[in-house]
């Protein structure tokens, strides 16, 4: 049985989306035990509405948290006036050994601070990093990390990101010997900054399936399974891609809705378009793992619906079952003992 | 009369696409004189096929260049064994005062090297930069620069990119007092690297409509007209965006083609989809200007069709007519005299 603490109050549509996701995840995974963290009175009256009854309810407990971190709060508020917030209390459950992992769809910054400060960083990890599982054009996932704005990463940080991303891809996404790349401005070894070139040297010493430099287009074409980069470029690419994909899909829809003939066409083509858009959907891959902290931590999109929450819980469950945290810790110990400082 | 040197041999579909574009541009602009640079014998036999006859032909001349830089060549080949290549000879025409600007759809690196080394850099410009005119979701252009892989840019370089991008947006794209941003990982002033924060300080001293930090999504939402960044992130975002947009459109098409009902729907919705895709089309904005060199230089996409070539020639023409090079030179002189070193 794996125990996951869910920040039920975090997310644009919480607690409804999170409870719906909890219900879906409990029904799908017999070995899942959920600690539902949030306003006790409110949650008690709501859980049954979301199908969490009988056998499912028996695998849950409600843990009271009186406050919520809102979008207006600073990320560091959990260290000061929001010490009793659902995200902080959910992280504390992992720290205290009452849960194996934590899942939040709330304030990304607060969830990162909670995971880093409350769970703490694994020995040997200089910087925990946020990985984004991008749906690529050949229908699989490509892990891009760091996207969590670790700025001015050093070569050894980027090598650690690569290693952690590879372990996540293998254990949670089920990719055998994932192909790892370093994000740069050209395929050739000589292309890139001193930092990316040194990072490549560090990664070459590790037991990874290293494919050299990846370019921007490789995030989407499926040529790599894991692409490591500094958090500045990762964050910019992630936000830019979300806006571009959404803009294209909304723009196409608006254009199609402008005439009755194309509206009819759009109706007929809708199932096919939906089928493709499902491939692009972040919902399938269940949120962004924060790697390098002492516990499984999955940070979902604020706009997550029930299905996305359920996927995020599933990702946390797989992370626990496959001992991703322990595997990262062990691999980093090897990395530290092998790698030549740069 | 503005004189533009066109590298007729450069581009995936050259010389046909380039001659088609030349014909379109000559027909559209009475004040355009084109120097067609390429294999003289071949061009002589081809020009008339592409509508370059009579009055139009009178505003052209063929300048012989025996060789072409291919995709297999290195960018620096123009300095060694490809000294007689069409792109180098086209750049030399500008250097020698026989042309006001140069346009190439060929090897991007070679076109950049030719412009930098043959035309030379404007006084006060530390690094010429490549600007990409991105079609944003509100139907206008957003200028992102540098996308040409100027690595490890210093704050003053990014400030120069911003200034050059703003002048280009105003003079060539017709945007009054363009809103300028610095690409970073958050809107707030405090977010970003030391480099982006220092660049903001330099830009604040200039007479620009400065909007502070831009995020990845701002490349697409039309919130900024000009976004300045280091060439590493700019290059990655450009390549990633091209692959993502193309992947979405091809993926949608493939999905629609998989059933007869959705095929019918796709047929009915096609004009509407085309209308939207035209908005996204880089073709409209005519290639990427290389800013900061002594002459107008427009570098187009290798895959440019005739219309794209014509747009690139138009961009070069506007650059000449609006004296973009002289305006950048004058503004940089002011920048240099005002800005405090950081």
What CATH number corresponds to the domain at position A313?
3.40.718.10
The whole-number average pLDDT for the span B262-279 is 83
B21, B121: one domain: yes
Percent of chain A whose predicted confidence (pLDDT) is above 70:
97
Asked if the structure places residue B338 within a domain, the reply is no
**Interchain pair A266, B262: CB under 8 A:** no
Q: Which residues of A touch B256 (CB under 8 A)?
A: 269, 272-273
A158, A231: one domain: yes
Q: Give B283's pLDDT tier (boundaries 50, 70, 90).
A: low
**Interchain pair A216, B235: CB under 8 A:** yes
B191, B275: one domain: yes
Domain that holds residue A218: 129-284
A273/B194: higher pLDDT:
B194
Residue A340 has pLDDT above 60, yes or no: no
**Interchain pair B272, A265: CB under 8 A:** yes
What six digits make up the tokens of A97? 């050994």
A276/B contact by beta carbon, under 8 A: yes
Distance (Å) from the alpha carbon of B320 to chain A's nearest alpha carbon: 31
DSSP annotation of A126 reads S
Mean pLDDT estimate for chain B: 91
Angle (CA) B288 B294 B300, round 5°: 20
B220, B275: one domain: yes
B113, B50: one domain: yes
Asked if the structure places residue A168 within a domain, the reply is yes
Q: What is the pLDDT, as a whole number, of residue B317?
A: 95
What six digits make up the tokens of B243? 């692959």
Q: Give A227's pLDDT tier (boundaries 50, 70, 90).
A: very high
Q: What is the pLDDT, as a whole number, of residue B229?
A: 98
Q: What is the pLDDT, as a whole number, of residue B342?
A: 45
A341/A33: higher pLDDT:
A33
B90/A302: higher pLDDT:
B90
Q: Which residue of A has its CA nearest to B275?
A: A255
A247/B contact by beta carbon, under 8 A: yes
Q: Give A338's pLDDT tier (boundaries 50, 70, 90).
A: low
Asked if the structure places residue B340 within a domain, the reply is no
Distance (Å) from the alpha carbon of A144 to chain B's nearest alpha carbon: 12
Nearest-CB residue to A243 (from B220, B247, B258): B220
* Interatomic CA distance for residues B11 and B56, integer angstroms: 23
Angle (CA) A279 A285 A289, round 5°: 150
Query: What's the CA dihedral at B77, B82, B87, B90 to 10 degrees?
Result: 130
Q: Which residue of A has its CA nearest to B148?
A: A185
Q: What is the pLDDT, as a whole number, of residue B303?
A: 86
Task: Provide the terminal-to-terminal Cα distance of chain A, rounded to the nearest Å.
Answer: 43
**Interchain pair A232, B266: CB under 8 A:** no
Q: Which residues of B touch A275 (CB under 8 A)?
A: 255
Find which of B217, B219, B246, B270 to mutate to test the A interface (most A CBs within 10 Å of its CB): B217
**Interchain pair A252, B221: CB under 8 A:** no
**Interchain pair B254, A270: CB under 8 A:** no
What is the tens place of the pLDDT at every residue in B199-228? Answer: 999 999 888 999 999 999 999 999 999 999
| Cβ atoms within 10 Å, residue B323 | 15
The whole-number average pLDDT for the span A120-133 is 91
Q: Give B149's pLDDT tier (boundaries 50, 70, 90).
A: confident
Does residue A209 have a cis peptide bond before it, meaning omega lies within 30 degrees of 0?
A: no
Asked if the structure places residue A47 within a domain, the reply is yes
Q: Give B338's pLDDT tier (boundaries 50, 70, 90).
A: low
What is the tens place of the pLDDT at every residue in B52-73? Answer: 999 999 999 999 999 999 988 9
Q: Which residues of B touch A185 (CB under 8 A)?
A: 149, 151, 231-232, 235-236
Residue A342 has pLDDT above 70, yes or no: no
Distance (Å) from the alpha carbon of A230 to chain B's nearest alpha carbon: 10
A279, A138: one domain: yes
What is the tens place of the pLDDT at every residue in B300-316? Answer: 988 889 999 999 999 99
B11, B108: one domain: yes
A95, A3: one domain: yes
Mean pLDDT lowest among A274-278, B28-32, B194-198: A274-278
Asked if the structure places residue A334 within a domain, the reply is no
Q: Which residues of B touch A264 (CB under 8 A)?
A: 265, 268
Q: Give B274's pLDDT tier (boundaries 50, 70, 90).
A: confident
Distance (Å) from the alpha carbon of B125 to chain A's nearest alpha carbon: 21
Mean pLDDT lowest among A252-261, B6-15, B48-57: A252-261
CA B3 to the chain's CA centroid: 18
B256/A contact by beta carbon, under 8 A: yes
The whole-number average pLDDT for the span A293-309 is 92
Find which of A229, A231, A268 to mutate to test the B interface (most B CBs within 10 Å of its CB): A268
Asked if the structure places residue B246 within a domain, the reply is yes
A185-199, B33-47, B251-265, B327-341: which is most confident:
B33-47
DSSP annotation of B298 reads E
**A265 burial type by CB count under 10 A (0-12 exposed, 13-18 middle, 19+ buried):** buried
Q: Which residues of A touch B266 (CB under 8 A)?
A: 265, 268-269, 272
Tokens 């294209």: give the residue. Answer: A248
Window 119-138 of B, Cβ < 8 Å to A: 137
Residue A176 has pLDDT above 50, yes or no: yes
B71/A contact by beta carbon, under 8 A: no
* Interatomic CA distance for residues A298 and A282, integer angstroms: 13
A195, A251: one domain: yes
A134, A274: one domain: yes
A236, A303: one domain: no
Percent of chain B whose predicted confidence (pLDDT) is above 70:
97
Does the CA dihedral B328-B330-B333-B339 come out positive or negative? Answer: negative
Residue A56 has pLDDT above 90, yes or no: yes
Mean pLDDT lowest among A110-124, A324-338, B274-288: B274-288
* Interatomic CA distance for residues A196 and B319, integer angstroms: 36
Nearest-CB residue to A245 (from B151, B244, B271): B244
Window 177-206 of A, Cβ < 8 Å to B: 183-186, 192-194
Secondary element (H or E) of residue B183: strand B179-183
Overall number of domains in chain B: 2
Distance (Å) from the alpha carbon of B275 to chain A's nearest alpha carbon: 7
Nearest-CB residue to B193 (from A217, A232, A248): A232
Window 136-165 of A, Cβ < 8 Å to B: 137, 149, 151-152
B12, B92: one domain: yes
Q: Which residues of A touch B265 (CB under 8 A)?
A: 264-270, 272
B279/A contact by beta carbon, under 8 A: yes
Q: What is the pLDDT, as a whole number, of residue A166?
A: 95
* Interatomic CA distance for residues A203 and A109, integer angstroms: 29
What is the tens place of the pLDDT at every residue in A21-43? Answer: 999 999 999 999 999 999 999 99
A28/B contact by beta carbon, under 8 A: no
Asked if the structure places residue A263 within a domain, the reply is yes
What is the tens place of the pLDDT at every residue in B312-322? Answer: 999 999 999 99
Asked if the structure places residue B5 within a domain, the reply is yes
Q: Which residue of B has its CA nearest to A242?
A: B217
Mean pLDDT estimate for chain A: 91
Residue B341 has pLDDT above 70, yes or no: no
């Amino acid at each position: 049985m794996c125990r996951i603490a869910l920040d039920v109050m975090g997310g644009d549509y919480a607690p409804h989306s999170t409870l719906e996701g909890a219900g879906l995840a409990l029904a799908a995974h017999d070995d899942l035990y959920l600690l539902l963290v949030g306003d006790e009175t409110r949650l008690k009256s709501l859980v049954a509405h979301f199908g969490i009854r009988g056998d499912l309810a028996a695998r849950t407990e409600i843990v009271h948290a009186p406050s919520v971190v809102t979008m207006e709060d600073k990320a560091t508020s959990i260290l000061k006036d929001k010490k009793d917030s659902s995200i902080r209390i959910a992280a504390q459950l992992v720290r205290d050994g009452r849960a194996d992992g934590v899942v939040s769809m709330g304030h990304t910054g607060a969830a990162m601070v909670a995971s880093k400060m409350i769970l703490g960083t694994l020995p040997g990890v200089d910087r925990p990093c946020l990985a984004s599982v991008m749906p690529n054009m050949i229908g699989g996932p490509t892990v891009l990390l760091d996207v969590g704005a670790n700025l001015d990463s050093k070569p050894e940080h980027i090598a650690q990101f690569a290693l952690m991303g590879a372990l996540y891809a293998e254990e949670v996404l089920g990719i055998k010997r994932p192909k790892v790349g370093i994000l740069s401005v050209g395929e050739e070894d000589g292309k890139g900054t001193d930092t990316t070139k040194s990072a490549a040297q560090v990664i070459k010493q590790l037991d990874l399936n290293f494919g050299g430099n990846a370019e921007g287009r490789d995030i989407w074409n499926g040529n790599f399974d894991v692409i490591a980069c500094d958090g500045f470029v990762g964050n910019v690419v992630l936000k830019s891609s979300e806006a571009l994909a959404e803009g294209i899909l909304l723009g196409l829809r608006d254009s199609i809705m402008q005439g009755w003939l194309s509206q009819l066409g759009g109706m007929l083509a809708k199932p096919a378009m939906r089928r493709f858009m499902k491939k692009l959907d972040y919902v399938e891959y269940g949120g962004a793992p924060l790697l390098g902290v002492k516990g499984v931590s999955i940070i979902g999109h604020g706009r997550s619906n029930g299905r996305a929450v359920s996927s995020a819980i599933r990702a946390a469950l797989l992370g626990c079952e496959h001992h991703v945290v322990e595997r990262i810790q062990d691999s980093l110990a090897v990395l530290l003992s092998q790698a030549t400082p740069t």
